[in-house]
Amino acid sequence: MTASTGGPDGSTEQDVPLALEDAAYREAVIDLLGAISYGEISAFERLVEDGTLAPSLEDKVAVATMATAEFARVAGLHARIAELGADPFAAMAPFREAIDRFHAHTAPADWFEGLIKAYVGDGLADDFYREIAAYLDATTRDLVLASLEDTGHAAFVVDRVRAAIAADPRLGGRLALWGRRLMGEALTQAQRVAAERDALSALLAGGVDRPGLDLAAIGRMFARLTERHAERMAELGLAH
């Protein structure tokens, strides 16, 4: 359902989803877009740093291209936050500490750990946001899903990691442990954010013009996240 504002010629200037008239929902959407925005900026910064570890010029250019794609998404997210009447930088601020803490606790020791983090760590966050997107108004949902499209991580990382493991099978064990650590850290930080941001927690409970999740459904959602993580590890040739 939407509420429309008619222009002088009878046309519709803007369609406002009914859900956005709910102040709590609007706050939750702003929080979500703020979290995704800062996540994109952090991903950009991390990929730039990872580029310094690249073993070849081709790898360096590939990582730089992915970093550029991550940063390019921020403008659209910030524009949507502004449309909702909030300041984009204020919207990102509450998530800076948790996201920075995650990156501080998972600093890669080498090129391959950086690749796994870019693929697995970003993948976990993207899967979670895709799950939440199902409970958003159509305009915001489409924006969120567009911001989560693969920037080339998948094929590039899978190719490099599989080739490295084939050359040195011992590498697989270390990277498998690293992947498990990444998931543990990501879930820990996500739980902290959810506990601190009431609006995001309420978003999953539903509201005006929106469905919600009960505890069983939330449990199934986290089961799907865990399964998808295991699939990514398998795609990399790593036991989980």
Secondary structure of the chain as H, E, C letters: CEEEEECCCCCEEEEEEHHHHCHHHHHHHHHHHHHHHHHHHHHHHHHHHHHCCCCCHHHHHHHHHHHHHHHHCHHHHHHHHHHCCCCHHHHHHHHHHHHHHHHHHCCCCCHHHHHHHHHHHHHHHHHHHHHHHCCCCHHHHHHHHHHCCCCCHHHHHHHHHHHHHHHCCHHHHHHHHHHHHHHHHHHHHHHHHHHHCHHHHHHHHCECCECCCCHHHHHHHHHHHHHHHHHHHHHCCCCC
Question: Considering the entire predicted model, what is its pTM?
Answer: 0.81
Which region holds residue 54: left if phi is over 0, alpha if psi is between -120 and 50, else beta?
Answer: beta
pLDDT score at 192 = 73
Tokens linked to 3: 């509420």
Q: How far is the C-alpha of 26 from the C-alpha of 204, rounded, in Å?
A: 13
Q: Which residues of the chain have pLDDT under 50?
A: 1-16, 208
pLDDT score at 12 = 32
pLDDT score at 118 = 87
Determine contact, residues 88/37, Cβ cutoff 8 Å.
Answer: yes
Walk me through the domains of the chain, giving residue ranges and CATH numbers. 19-235 (1.20.1260.10)
Please name which of 162, 189, 186 lies closest in space to residue 175, comparing C-alpha atoms.
162
pLDDT score at 194 = 67
pLDDT score at 178 = 94
pLDDT score at 189 = 77
pLDDT score at 205 = 62
pLDDT score at 59 = 93
